[in-house]
Structure 1
Amino acid sequence: MGGKDEYGVDLDALEEVVRELHKVLNFMGDAKSTSEHSTYLPKGSLGSNFSEVSELYGAHNDVRANITSVMKRVDALVDAFGKKSAKVRDAYQDAEAENSVKM
């Protein structure tokens, strides 16, 4: 079947990529929410009356901000890749449908 100028695309595989990326985005949303909202350290939870206490709270806030930043960047990357994958899948589906009509 087909000559050297023909191509084949596994649309099911592309659909699976899109589905898996949506799963990753859902997981990332949960992790991002946890990093932003479930890592609060109330004053006194690390102890008190020692010189490093403010440094510990500051370090915690810095790490929390870094994790949130990384999560947002990864989320944006996965979202962009998912949208591009869906767009490619749709274009191939349209081309396949168009070729079927021509035959």
Structure 2
Amino acid sequence: MAKEYGVNLDALDQLVKELNQVLKDMGGPKDKAKNQTYLPEGALGKGFDERAKMHKAHNDMKDFIQHQIVDKIEGLINDFGEKSKKTKDAYEDAEHDNKMT
């Protein structure tokens, strides 16, 4: 007798919902990285050589956080959520097809 495996469709559905909520919540860090870390031109002072380097370093780090960290985490969560939804839908379709035969 072959072993049968069960899939908890409610758990998969809950996972998809929670991942979608995480994506919505990611808007906060994304907004902060993009808009709330503004450093005005004169904020670091004037008249010393390191000022331009510090300002550039700030902008580089801001860009890195936004594009190399937040965007990649968001993409990973979105990809996992989409794959989880497709898996759930496929199991639901298979379950429905089995009930009809």
Would the TM-score normalized by the shorter structure come out above 0.5?
yes
1:38 is aligned, of 29, 36, 39, to 36
Q: How does 1:1-103 map to 2 (within 5 A)?
A: 3-69=1-67, 70-102=69-101
Task: Encode CA deviations 1:45-83: one digit per residue, 9 max, x unaligned.
Answer: 122222211111011011001101121111111111110
Q: Which runs of 5+ in 2 are unaligned?
A: none
Question: Which runs of no fewer than 5 residues in structure 1 stay unpaired?
Answer: none
After superposing the two structures, state which structure 1 stretch, 29-38 or 76-85, moved more: 29-38
Given residue 98 of structure 2, which amino acid in structure 1 is its aligned partner? Answer: N
Instruction: Count how many residue pairs are aligned between Structure 1 and Structure 2.
Output: 100
Q: Distance in 1 between matches of 2:2 and 2:27?
A: 44
1:6-51 per-residue CA deviation (whole Å, 9 max, x = no partner) reads 2200111101110111011112223212211221111111222222
Q: Which runs of 4+ in 1 moved over 3 A?
A: none
CA distance in 1 between partners of 2:27 and 2:89 (Å): 25
Compute the RMSD of aligned alpha carbons. 1.4
Q: Which moved more, 1:82-91 or 1:42-51?
A: 42-51
Question: What is the CA–CA distance in structure 1 between the aligned matches of 2:85 and 2:28, rounded to whole Å?
Answer: 23
Under a length normalisation based on structure 2, what TM-score does the superposition of the two structures give? 0.88
Percent same amino acid at aligned positions? 43
In structure 1, distance between residues paired with 2:39 and 2:75? 28
